[in-house]
Amino acid sequence: MDSTLPPVGLGTMGIDEPEPIAAALEVGYRHLDTARIYGNEGVVGAGLAASDVDRAAVTVATKLWVDRLAGDDVGPAARESADRLGVDRLDLLYVHRPRGAYDPDATLPAMDRLVDAGVVDAVGVSNFEIDDLERARGVLDAPIAAHQTELHPLRYRPEILEHAREHGYSVVAYSPLAGGRVAEVDAVREVAERHGTTPEAVAIAWATAKEPVVAIPKASTERHLRANLAAADLELAPEDVAAIDAVEREEELYPE
């Protein structure tokens, strides 16, 4: 995969038809994120196949769920995901959570073998804590390409971003709109009013302004697809960012 992910990609959890996937590619998305547990890898693959966009231009990412993380399961599960997606390789493959069958000393070498075999271009992790990240860095031969984590105005952990900056990998922010709740956050709403835009646009701009964060909001209509993509171009003033940084939190939408 390209080592630089675009500022905004498409989160696909809950999308069960290929049309929004094809529409996203048509309006300019080049990063599609799915997961085995979403049950829609085939849908994402169908949308990709229906698009005229060059496959090589799109980062296709998926994740292995906790029941397929044993060392002997990783390879077959990854190949199953690639088959469902209709691709000959996975640009980015994540460990979805460091739980269940996850054993860093068995799971991660199996991920390395997929890179060596050309089945996977890059390895990512998801929902890791700092200790998990450090352990993974110590075991993997391949560098961590990305860490996917819940990040939005109600869930912001600077130490996660600092670790990524220190070690040179992307932070992929899922649920950047806080499950639709960003409009309820006073600071976000006030910044949106100052800029004449929506709280949703502000939440995405706030996230993507933070190095090295990219966001993957879900959208299924062309209007929302375009709005989310454009939000990364919204320039917030330092005081805007500081106001949202200071929001009292934390609210985790997807705990264990």
List the one residue out of 147, 154, 43, 56 whose CA is nearest residue 95.
147
Q: Which helix (H) or strand (E) holds 245?
A: helix 238-245
Tokens of 99: 């739980």
Of the residues 38, 102, 169, 174, which is catalytic?
38
- Cis amide leading into 217 (omega within 30): no
List the one residue out of 135, 146, 101 whose CA is nearest residue 5.
146
Total length of the chain: 256
Residue with tokens 């391949």, as numbered in its chain: 142
Active site residue 29: no
Answer positive or negative: Cα dihedral of 74, 126, 33, 118.
negative
Residue with tokens 């890898």, as numbered in its chain: 41
Q: How many CA atoms lie within 13 A of 3 on its CB side?
A: 5
List the one residue out of 198, 187, 174 whose CA is nearest residue 244.
187
How far is 75 from 93, CA to CA, in rounded Å? 11
Q: What is the DSSP letter of 184?
A: G
Per-position DSSP letters for 184-213, written without gaps between them: G-HHHHHHHHHHTS-HHHHHHHHHHTSTTE
How far is 191 from 21, CA to CA, in rounded Å? 31
Active-site positions read 38
